[in-house]
Chain A
Amino acid sequence: MISLRSVLWLCARYELVLAVRSRWLQMFAVVFAGLALAVASAGYILSGGHGVQDFSRTAVSLVQVVLLLVPLASLVFGGLALTPDRGAAELLYSQPVPRGAILIGRMLGVWLALAAAELIGFGIAGLVVQSQAGLDGLSRYGALVITAVVITGVFLAIAALLASLNPGRRTRVLAAALVVWFVTVVLFDVAVLGIASMLRSGSASRLLISATLINPVDAARTGALLAIEGTAAFGAASLALLRFTGGAAMAAAYVGLSLAAWMVLPLWLAARTLSRADI
């Protein structure tokens, strides 16, 4: 009998091969590299300067791009990859291995593929930055890369949950993925700030702190800014979290826990749902 670790590795490798041969992933790698390069080389334009920014400025400028693009790519690519056609799903899930292991293994494969595409994008932009502006702030740039890879895992876990709730129904999974992206990336902050503005100071603070930890995009933004710029670039919600936790180290720990929970819980729920689903 094949071991669980072998199933995970086998499915991850299977999915990695599929992803590497996918035009969607190749396009994502090109777009990501192009955007990173554009941000790195155009960062001074707004301040009237020219030339390539250093790693620190490039990292700060890329935070928003990463938090906008990476969740969308992860949800869409993950949704497509983790929702096989009905005939493929029936054959795959009739094999004598746990369905959850197949799903998690495939998710790991997609994660590896997307992370590789992101690393290529960051790498190309990084080479240009290094050649023009030196190595200053490289660790901050590295923190952004880690944030991108982590947020990829979080949204792939959510995509896995959506796929397990709708086995064989790609259109539904894609529609749900777009809704999740819109809510977490766009709507959530607007709604929270709107509600907070109507509450008293204490309640508003509690809401903002919860919001930062509840929404993985906000948690990742807080974590990335904390690693790149310290607390200088914090917004209202992140500052509220900082006050609540009593310092940057505890705030980072809370953010890390939130992101870890966002990765583990959806994946656990996905495996559980799929194991009980009719295929």
Chain B
Amino acid sequence: MIRYRAFTKAYGGRRAVDGLTLEVPAGSVVALLGPNGSGKTTSIKAAAGLVRPDSGEVVLGAEHLNALDARARRACSFLPQRVSFPETLTGREVVDFYRRIRHVPGDATDRVLKFASLNGAGERAVGTYSGGMVQRLGLAVATLGTTDVLLLDEPTAALDPEGLGAFYRLVDARRQAGGTVFFSSHQLGDIERLADRVAVIVAGRLVAEFTGRQLAARLADRGVMRVRVDAPTAGLLERVRALCPEAAWRGDELIVPGPASMRPGVLDLVREAGGDIRGLTAEEGRLDAFYRELIGAPS
């Protein structure tokens, strides 16, 4: 569990996060979504104990420990946005160092290197790794031990397909083990694929929060059906508008925005009115369009 209570942090007079109140329930996977500079990294770093709140607090774990408390750091693993390692160390040496610091048994090194698809590259110096491999090494370090809370700051930004697979496996495994995962991402596909809940933060403020089901419903509301009709009868549009007030003709296409549940009723109306349906397309609401709507960006 992670709980932000009126968490506020400013840098040089500019508020990076402004009164964030948010709860990441135990055993859930929550995504933090927002444009660049919206305060996602500051929020996640505060949970990792790297940033001191100017006001408010961040607590985590079953014991509700303040994130700045060293005991809270034992309960969480953190993967920074642009993780880096000394170039002259091998992947194995890096993992071994963090394994020892976290007091994890020795066999974990091989396990996490294999998990991150780095078992063939563990003996090579990090300086020879690609960006994706460095990020995978970061994932390997983050999977050491079995912490309650996993904090990931844009974990998929630099991942190659192998790394992406490892990341999905990691989140799924944590979910199955009852762990809590809190991650920020710009990759809307990751969010749809992984998150139980989504929190949207803009200019340091929480602007929206949805469960996976609520998000699916919101996206469904933003779907649209296009029905190509030959010989439309007069009055069809008015009858459809009784179901969907935003329905409109565009040429010979009847455009019907709204949730999928409404569509069979509309098609029945078209048929009853003697309309000859020549074509039909349905499009679900897109998260990117919904996200732009939430953050007030032009679509």
Contacts and interface: CB of A to CB of B under 8 A. Distances in A.
A94 B84 contact: no
A18 B70 contact: no
Nearest to B75: A96
B74 interface: yes
B45 A90 contact: yes
A91 B138 contact: yes
A69 interface: no
Interface string A82-107: 00111110110111111000000000
Interface string B122-154: 000000000000000010010000000000000
A95 B50 contact: no
Contact of A279 (B45, B89, B98): B45
Contacts of B138: 91
Interface in A1-30: 1-2, 6-7, 10, 14, 17-18, 21-22
A93 B50 contact: yes
Contacts of A2: 100-103
B289 interface: no
B51 A279 contact: yes
A88 B137 CA distance: 12
Contacts of B89: 17-18
A94 B45 CA distance: 9
B149 to A, nearest CB: 11
Among the interface residues A1, A94, A276, which one has the most CB atoms of the partner chain B within 10 A?
A: A94
Contacts of B73: 94-96
A1 B50 contact: no
Interface in A139-178: none
Contact of A278 (B50, B82, B97, B141): B50
Given A1-B103, A17-B93, A18-B86, A91 B51 contact: no
B83 interface: yes
A17 B103 CA distance: 20
Nearest to B72: A96
Interface in B69-103: 70-71, 73-74, 76, 78-86, 88-89, 93, 97-98, 100-103
A91 B78 contact: yes
What is the interface residue range for chain B against chain A? 20 to 34
Contacts of B85: 88
Interface in A189-215: none
B29 interface: no
B113 interface: no
A95 B83 contact: no
B7 to A, nearest CB: 13
A75 to B, nearest CB: 20
Given A18-B86, A278-B52, A279-B50, A91 B102 contact: no
Nearest to A9: B100
Q: Which of A2, A7, A86, A278 is the most central at the interface, judged by chain B CB atoms within 10 Å of its CB?
A: A278
Q: Which of A2, A85, A90 has the most CB of B within 10 A?
A: A90
Given A17-B93, A18-B89, A276-B52, A87 B70 contact: no
A7 B101 CA distance: 7
B152 to A, nearest CB: 12
Nearest to B69: A96
Interface in A93-132: 93-98
Given A17-B89, A18-B89, A91-B141, A86 B78 contact: no
Contact of A96 (B52, B83, B102, B141): B102
Contacts of B100: 2, 6, 10
Contacts of A91: 78-80, 83, 98, 138, 141
A94 to B, nearest CB: 4
A94 B70 CA distance: 9
A4 to B, nearest CB: 11
Contact of A18 (B45, B74, B82, B88): B88
Contacts of A85: 84
Contacts of B102: 2, 95-96
23 contacts: A1-B74, A10-B100, A17-B89, A17-B93, A86-B84, A87-B82, A87-B83, A88-B83, A88-B84, A90-B48, A90-B78, A91-B141, A93-B50, A94-B50, A94-B78, A95-B73, A96-B70, A96-B71, A96-B73, A96-B74, A276-B52, A278-B51, A279-B51
Q: Which 9 A-B pairs have the closest CB atoms?
A: A90-B80, A96-B74, A87-B84, A96-B73, A21-B88, A94-B78, A279-B50, A87-B82, A94-B48
Interface of B: 45, 48-52, 70-71, 73-74, 76, 78-86, 88-89, 93, 97-98, 100-103, 138, 141
